Chain A
Amino acid sequence: MKKKIATLSTAILASALLLSACGNNNDNAGAANSAGANQPAPSNSANTAAPATDSDASGLVTASDMSKLPDIAKQRTDTIIVGLTDPSGAFTPYFQQSGYDGNVSSLLYTPLVKVDEKGLPIPGLAEKWDVSADNLTYTYHLRQGLKFSDGTPLTADDVAFTWTILYDKSYDGDSLVNSLHVQGGDAYKAGTATSISGIKVIDPQTVSVTLEKPNASALTLLGSDVLSKAYYGKDYKQGQLDYMKKLSGSPLGTGPYKLEKFIPGQEVRMIANENYFDGKPKTEHFIYKTAQGDTWQYLETGEVDYASFTATQENIDKLKALGFVNILPYTPSTYGYLQLNLKHPALQDKLVRQALTYGLDRQSIYVDAAQGAGQVANIPSSPISWSYTEDGINPYKYDAEKAKELLDQAGWKAGADGIREKDGKKLTVHFLGSKKPETDIFIAVAKEDYEALGIKFEPEVFADFNALVSKVEGGDYDMASFSTSLLTDPSDGLLQFVDGEIPGYDNPAFKALYDKGLATSNIDERKAVYKDIYKLLNDELPVIFTSYKKSVYAYNGRIQNLSVSPFNGLAPSLPSWTLSQ
């Protein structure tokens, strides 16, 4: 019997070891919205090193030889297939846990307010909206004759219902609506009110919501997808949203497509919605095919029509050689950064943070080593956003001499072993990163750069993202590498500096500007505020901004009218896609 126990515990131990060794290369699903955020690359700016290509203004390279198109793709006449990493089958917006499911639900539901390719609001299910003079009340006017995909009408009641359940105390999704401070929202959450006083249904076509505190991102946050009250609200009791899980596999939406069939681990089949407000989509069938990791072979054999790749020169050349795909470059609305532990005395000094930025050859790491598939970042906003600016922004071009000067100025002098010291303490940087090729490049370059400055660099690599985050939460680090999730409103990219995610960063001037940026809905006023904010953060560097990643879309040359929105992915242009024969 002893032998059996030994066998079993060995088996368990072995599997545990295996697990800890294998947990790499899985991006956090919440952040990795693979087909979510895309748009043509920005015009070449000062620090862009994009390889020159034979392309048109948007950067689109059209297919050179359609005769190479595989037969299997030619035979499809009314079906478009797109690869998607891992849809789980939970397709109710607000209640899903992964960005991949979000890609599916973005085709099954249409938001009240969409955003254009700069991130500015445009009409969706709501044809127009009013914002009160005090920026507290938002009134949405719905289009006439809206219907859910089963033909039932969509009214203001459905919108009010959707907002209400997000304030339920058992709501466990990741919608940010419940952090907006809608009037009466907290009372509803606490169970002391049976409805939310700030939400008012004016008539079947009009609904308004009042906030306690102005927040310019409310327009798009509240103006998101609408759930049918008749369908999703049938079993609703305050404080009990568990029943929603049963409905997650049978979504009822308002989007261009409706769910036909979900085959776990294989496909999500969708069929055109004849009740779509903008007219039935031109292509009858749309399929998301589950594709783990590399989708290259599926694109090459014609099993999928559309895939995205990192914009390295190697990938672009390979795609061009296929001949039958159009290639479209894009930059997602995210930014990468190195989080610094501002609780550590050395890093509290702005001069040290600036020296660390000057002294790191970001161009080599994020642009050259990535074969041009990136651009150096200096502010917490993506170049595709309406708020992006380079005006008055210090580019922190690699300059070891300048970095040394700053360190001297900050009082860090070289010790006997060449490592800089101050008050008997050595200047070390303990770096945490997750296991991937980019981290290896970073470590190699950073180690050389920092050691040349007299800084001891101690890298530590984690097999998986969760382990990395919990180590960072524990505070035992100096520098950690991260990237944001998709950002829609410019304030999204700043949230981490106000909500305590960057420990030790507390700047009243910044907080005042942050509030000012949300206090108005006027885009020009907001632009001016964000310009000031970016200047401030670019100078203070509570984190070191690193890079914007660049990718390319490759799609079957037969697909017409394709464009990709950086904030809504495929959904906006999909209804007009057609297949030429």
Chain B
Amino acid sequence: MSTYITKRILYMIVILFAASFLIFCLYALTPGDFITGNIKLTPERKAELREIYGLNKPVIERYAIWMKNAFHGDFGYSLSQQKPVLTLFNQYIWNSFLLAVVSTFLTWLIAVVVGVVAAYKQYSWFDTIVMVALFAAMSIPSFFIGLFLIKMLAVDWKWLPPGGMLTTGSNSTGMAYIKEVIHHMILPVMVMTLLGVGSLTRYFRSNMIDVIKQDYIRTARAKGLKERKVLFTHALRNALLPAITLVGFELPALFGGSLIIEKIFNWPGIGQLYMQSFSLRDYPLLMGFTLFIAILTVIGTLVSDILYHVADPRVRL
């Protein structure tokens, strides 16, 4: 096990190196840089600024400088925001994380319960309604459902705030603050859960259907075990095993932010910041963030492999 982990970590470093180079090249190849878009500047001033920012250096040299600084924990300054990239992450990422954690939790909870029940009662009226609802949820675009809910719940009925994370100008602290944030979270979490729950429920439903048909379930039933015990102790555990792989992949999504949801609901998250930085070609921020997501992806796959081994000792590492 420990040799396996050491080996995996070594591989991870190699992969991250390759990824960082790929990321750097992708951005270097994107047309335009931070200076290009500023139409106020004269061509001479543009040349001067490229010199100051080092944008006129060869790509390889720029990559070397970037990597050297990154090793020292310095991911550079955001050109448009005039702040260290890590400070910016810290300011925005936790807002995204909060939204993602709550909606992921709800998504999994609903998906497991609904998926298992629907599988157990396959082809019943409940199953049919669930399947129709799932297809409906999966086929509605997020911006549409988001704007529709804002129109109904926030603008027309005034039950919920139309966006943001706090009431503007609010000075609340402690419990009042938490209540305010929860109040503002309801709409975005609702939309994110609605959008995520479709595919996951289908996944659990089909896993569960496979498991229920297995011989050992029939044996368990034949032994006279209670149906509840058969379902939740024997069947569910095995049906959930493949889902552990999914847990690892959730990791980057938790920190990545959802561009569309954050934009519609004016949520101060990292997804929005990332998109703005892209249109401005704020490379230090873009590269830092993309590398961060790459790191999380690699860690996520490692975690899911280890978890899989823990959950199912038959899986060899």
Contacts and interface: CB of A to CB of B under 8 A. Distances in A.
Nearest to A91: B82
Contacts of B91: 264-265
Given A297-B162, A303-B168, A248 B82 contact: yes
B39 A28 contact: yes
Interface in B36-87: 36-45, 49, 52-53, 77, 79-83
B276 to A, nearest CB: 6
A355 B25 CA distance: 44
A285 interface: yes
B31 A467 contact: yes
A290 B92 CA distance: 14
A465 B34 CA distance: 11
Contacts of A469: 32, 36-37, 39
Contacts of B154: 297, 301
A179 B45 contact: yes
B37 A465 contact: yes
Interface stretch (A82-90, A446-454, A531-539): A82-90
A292 B163 CA distance: 10
A297 B80 contact: no
Contacts of B273: 265
Contacts of A471: 31
Contacts of A292: 263, 266, 272
Contacts of B77: 245
Nearest to B32: A466
A309 interface: no
Nearest to B12: A4
Interface in A444-477: 464-467, 469-471, 473
A19 B31 CA distance: 13
A221 B161 CA distance: 43
Nearest to B260: A22
B36 A473 contact: yes
Interface string B284-317: 0000001001100110010000000000000000
Contacts of B22: 9, 12
Contacts of B80: 29, 88, 97-98
Contacts of B168: 81, 267, 287, 289, 303-304
B82 A88 contact: yes
Contacts of B151: 297
Contacts of A263: 166, 268
Contact of A4 (B23, B31, B301): B301
B304 to A, nearest CB: 11
Label chain B's interface by main secondary structure. helix
Interface string A1-43: 1001101110110011001101100101111000000000000
Contact of B39 (A4, A30, A287, A289): A30
Interface string A470-508: 110100000000101100000000010001110000000
A495 B276 contact: no
Interface in B266-280: 266-269, 272-273, 275-276, 278-280
Given A79-B169, A499-B42, A95 B82 contact: yes
A264 B33 contact: no
A29 B259 CA distance: 19
A309 to B, nearest CB: 16
B266 A291 contact: yes
A197 interface: no
A89 B297 contact: no
A386 interface: no
Contacts of A287: 168-169
Q: Interface size bucket, A side?
A: 35 or more
Contacts of B41: 174
Contacts of A499: 42-44
A174 B38 contact: yes
B241 interface: no
B36 A466 contact: yes
B11 to A, nearest CB: 6
Nearest to A3: B301
B6 interface: no
Interface in A278-328: 285, 287, 289-293, 297-298, 300-301, 303-304
Contacts of A90: 81-83
Contacts of B259: 22
Contact of A298 (B162, B267, B268): B162
Contacts of A20: 30
A245 B84 CA distance: 9
B95 A470 contact: no
B19 interface: yes
A335 to B, nearest CB: 13
A96 to B, nearest CB: 7
Nearest to B273: A265
Nearest to B286: A19
Pick from B36, B259, B298 the residue with the most CB of A within 10 Å: B36
Contacts of B18: 5
A522 interface: no
Interface in A251-280: 263-267, 269
A466 B31 contact: yes
Contact of B163 (A7, A88, A95, A297): A297
Contacts of A249: 83
A12 B19 CA distance: 8
A29 B82 CA distance: 14
Contacts of B95: 265
Contacts of B266: 290-292
Contact of A16 (B26, B33, B52, B79): B26
A405 interface: no
A438 interface: no
B155 interface: yes
Contact of B83 (A89, A170, A467): A89
Nearest to A242: B77
A23 B297 contact: no
B296 to A, nearest CB: 10
Interface in B1-33: 11, 15, 18-19, 22-23, 26, 30-33
A29 B280 contact: yes
A172 interface: yes
B106 interface: no
B76 to A, nearest CB: 12
Interface in B129-176: 150-151, 154-155, 158, 161-166, 168-169
19 contacts: A8-B15, A8-B297, A12-B23, A22-B275, A30-B38, A30-B40, A31-B40, A172-B53, A179-B45, A249-B83, A265-B267, A265-B272, A289-B164, A298-B162, A301-B154, A466-B31, A469-B32, A469-B36, A484-B39
In the complex, the 5 A-B pairs of residues with the closest C-beta atoms, listed nearest first: A265-B268, A466-B32, A26-B279, A90-B82, A470-B31
Interface of B: 11, 15, 18-19, 22-23, 26, 30-33, 36-45, 49, 52-53, 77, 79-83, 88, 91-92, 95, 150-151, 154-155, 158, 161-166, 168-169, 252, 259, 263, 266-269, 272-273, 275-276, 278-281, 290, 293-294, 297-298, 301
Given A97-B81, A499-B44, 16 more contacts: A8-B294, A12-B23, A20-B30, A23-B275, A28-B38, A90-B83, A172-B52, A178-B45, A248-B83, A265-B272, A297-B162, A298-B163, A301-B162, A484-B39, A500-B42, A500-B43
